[in-house]
Amino acid sequence: MTVMLDLWYKSAVIYCIDVETFMDGNGDGIGDFEGLIDRLDYIAGLGINCIWLMPFYPTPNRDNGYDITDYYNVDPHLGTLGDFVEFLRQANDRGMRVIIDLVINHTSIDHPWFKAACKDKHSKYRDYYVWSEEKPADAEEGIIFPGYQESTWTYNEEAGAYYFHRFFEHQADLNIGNPQVREEFYKIMGFWLQLGISGFRVDAAPFLIELKGIEKQADIKDPYRYLKQMRNFLSWRRGDAIILAEANVPMEDVPKYFDDGDKLQMLFSFIVNQYLMLALAREAVAPLIQGLKAPPEIPEICQWAHFIRNHDELSLDKLSQEEQEEILTKFHQDKDQVWIYDRGIRRRFPPLVQGDERRIRLAYSLMFTMPGTPVLKAGEEIGMGDDLSLKQRDASRTPMQWSGESNGGFSTAPSDKLILPVIKEGEYGYPHLNVIAQRRDPNSLLNWMERAIRMLKECPEFGWGSWELIETDNSGVLALRYQWRDGTVVALHNLASYACTVTLKLDGDRVPEGSALRSARPTPEALRASPEGSSGSQSEIDWAYTDEHESRWIDLLGDQPYEPIKHPERGIQLEGYGYRWVRVGREHL
Ligand code: NOJ
Ligand code: CA
């Protein structure tokens, strides 16, 4: 046994929960901490070891809780601070860490700070926000919710000035340039860290540090240093806490978020997500390879978070208009129904592939094996659908479907009292798509997820290792090799509908640096900086595929039982939309 660094997030499986739609414990139609606590065994049983809670703070709820009026409390509809602590304790007891949403780019305009700022020009809170006497000429630029947001500057009568809001007009941007605001950030972080959380999902990170409206403030040079300061504060308060940031930014900006590993630990990989969607739609791997190669190499302590769907629209903003159209066409979607904010699809994933179980599993198998850490949104594990009659992103935010009972077992309240309607009709309706039904069926998606997560945990190579592409003779097949310490695993995915026998380029095999098959091994700097033995270094890795162990390829997980791979060089079978996770070179357990 070798001692591992406590980079727990490198082998985490993160599960994202909106408390409000997860489980209603007191029967008022709104999910709450009582209900969530009751379902912790379910979550732990799935193999989850980190829960990400979406905003649960007091809120007028005009943006699903991303509009906060008190950073130090729990919304009374969801429970009390006592319930939160009990939840945290019980999650920890089951070996699960908890990270929480930190929404500090803006507050609700109902927050006492904003009210005080409007009321009194001389209040210290005035400078907590971003103001302008005149409406700036570019007020209609950079709108995040086109069609649903009119401007980024809105006049407030009482204040007698315009306030800046990157998002909806009820979300006033805080002024990060004000040291007192940054003090508030630290105090908020310190509060929740003290209660025992393991970190934050930082909302809207690029906008948090943008200097819009405060460009002239003298002391602001490099806004990214605010991230470093946050990280310092975080790490001094709790050494193993992390920041996982939402930052859908151009690739050249990525290093500014990770730096040498002294800023943020994790970013969501929007780039892989979008190119994965294009690849799945096209049934070809080239776009996914493009997505995987797009980001620069990142420091060893940093990590990508991969997802299929989150609680927002499926943003395709990094793709061309033709590619966006292609996805809509190939997924047979009606643009008028599903397209939102000029950039994305407001559906859950299964309806995009017409509920085809093979393609659903293929997508999640890919997510689990992307180099990084997977993030599941609650409900994905049972393949929930959506309700396009609901407004905007609510379509994919319907409550969890636990059973065939009324309201899908989510709540005992009358159906018209629910926070959002449960899906009742059709193939995604709760009468047959629910947790209980899937538990009884060994072949269900839920049971598949459990098996896949179990295997993922047995393969630290996916989360910790270096990876490289293996060239194949089939444009539908992605072959990735991952290496960590003495372990090697290979994941094969057939994105196309037809079965094949794929040939991998295994000999003469060391992939030259800078070639089309660029490996993502850590940089020499990162290796030097990393503590001994924390990762396979280049010199330790035997890239030559000639020794006697070579032919030991052991199937770990697949879409079906396959003939064992005795001679990998003679080709490997894959079903249409099939996949195989294989350990190479030694026994698995
Ligand atoms: C990103 C969140 O994911 C989204 O749901 C929200 O509307 C915006 N940030 C504003 O907080
Ligand atoms: Ca409730």
Ligand showing the shortest atom-to-Cα distance for residue 168: 1
Average of pLDDT values for 494-500? Answer: 98
Higher pLDDT pick, 403 / 6: 403
Cα(167) to ligand 2 centroid in Å equals 28
* pTM: predicted TM-score of the whole model, two decimal places: 0.93
- Ligand 1 pocket, Cβ-based, cut-off 6 angstroms: 63-64, 66, 103, 167, 203-204, 246, 311-312
> Residue 211: how many CB atoms within 10 A of its CB?
15
Tell me what percent of the residues of the chain surpass a pLDDT of 90: 88
State the closest ligand 1 atom to the C-alpha of 67, by its place in the atom list counted from 1.
Answer: 11
The answer to whether 488 and 568 are in contact (CB under 8 A) is no
The helix/strand/coil state of 53 is strand
Tokens representing 165 are 């809001």
Mean pLDDT of the chain: 93
Residue 507 has a pLDDT of 65
Residue 114 · residue 63 · CB < 8 Å: no
- Let me know if 228 is exposed, middle or buried by CB neighbors in 10 A (0-12, 13-18, 19+): middle
Residue 551 confidence (pLDDT): 62
Task: Give one DSSP letter per residue of 309-340, joined into a string.
Answer: --SS-EE-TTS-HHHHHHHHHHTT--HHHHEE
Average pLDDT over residues 224-240: 97
What is the number of the ligand 1 atom nearest to the C-alpha of 312? 5
For residue 531, what pLDDT is reported? 41
Look at residue 527 and tell me whether its pLDDT is greater than 50. Answer: no
Inter-residue contact 174 to 210 (CB < 8 Å): no
What pLDDT score was predicted for residue 140?
97
Does the pLDDT value for residue 586 go beyond 80? yes
> Which residue from 180, 244, 174 is spatially nearest to 214, judged by alpha carbons?
174
Q: Which ligand is nearest to the CA of 419?
A: 2
Has residue 512 got a pLDDT over 80? Answer: no
CA of 374 to the centre of ligand 2 (A): 29
Q: How confident is the model at residue 3 (pLDDT cuts 50, 70, 90)?
A: confident
Q: Which of the two residues, 401 and 525, has the higher pLDDT score? A: 401
Per-residue pLDDT, averaged over 304-319, amounts to 98
Closest C-alpha residue for ligand 1 atom 4? 312
- Can you tell me which residue has the tokens 């980001």? 295
How many residues comprise the chain? Answer: 589
Nearest CA to ligand 1 atom 5: 312
Rounded mean pLDDT, 82-88: 98
What is the spatial distance between Cα 446 and Cα 245, in angstroms, rounded to a whole number?
28
pLDDT at residue 549 is higher than 80: no
The tens digit of pLDDT for each residue in 345-373 reads 999 999 999 999 999 999 999 999 999 99
Q: Which pLDDT does position 251 carry in this prediction?
A: 97
Q: What is the pLDDT of residue 6?
A: 86
Question: Long-range contacts: 425-433, Cβ < 8 Å, 24+?
Answer: 426/385, 427/355, 427/385, 428/350, 428/351, 428/355, 428/383, 428/384, 428/385, 428/386, 430/401, 430/403, 430/404, 431/404, 432/404, 433/382, 433/383, 433/384, 433/385, 433/401
- Cα dihedral across residues 357, 360, 363, 366: positive or negative: negative
Which residue out of 169, 203, 313, 397 has the highest number of ligand 1 atoms within 8 Å of its CB and is therefore the one to mutate? 203
Report CA(307)–ligand 1 centroid distance (Å): 16
Please state the atom number of ligand 1 nearest to the C-alpha of residue 145: 7
Q: What average pLDDT does range 408-433 have in this prediction?
A: 98
Ligand located closest to 79 CA? 2
Query: Band of the pLDDT at 50, cuts 50, 70, 90?
Result: very high
pLDDT of residue 541: 39
pLDDT bucket at 215, cuts 50 / 70 / 90: confident
CA–centroid distance, 97 to ligand 1, in Å, is 23
pLDDT at 547: 47
State pLDDT tens for residues 91-141. 999 999 999 999 999 999 999 999 999 999 999 999 999 999 999 999 999
* Residue 170 zone, left/alpha/beta (φ > 0; ψ -120 to 50; rest): alpha
Task: Using the predicted structure, report yes or no on whether residue 190 has a pLDDT greater than 90.
Answer: yes
The set of catalytic residues is 203, 246
Task: Tell me, in angstroms, the distance from the centre of ligand 1 to residue 230's CA.
Answer: 20
Q: Of all residues in the chain, what percent carry a pLDDT higher than 70?
A: 92
- The residue whose CB lies within 8 Å of the most ligand 1 atoms, and thus the one to mutate among 312, 340, 375, is 312
Asked if residue 520 has pLDDT above 50, the reply is: no
Mean pLDDT across 325-340: 98
Give pLDDT tens digits for 441-492: 999 999 999 999 999 999 999 999 999 999 999 999 999 999 999 999 999 9
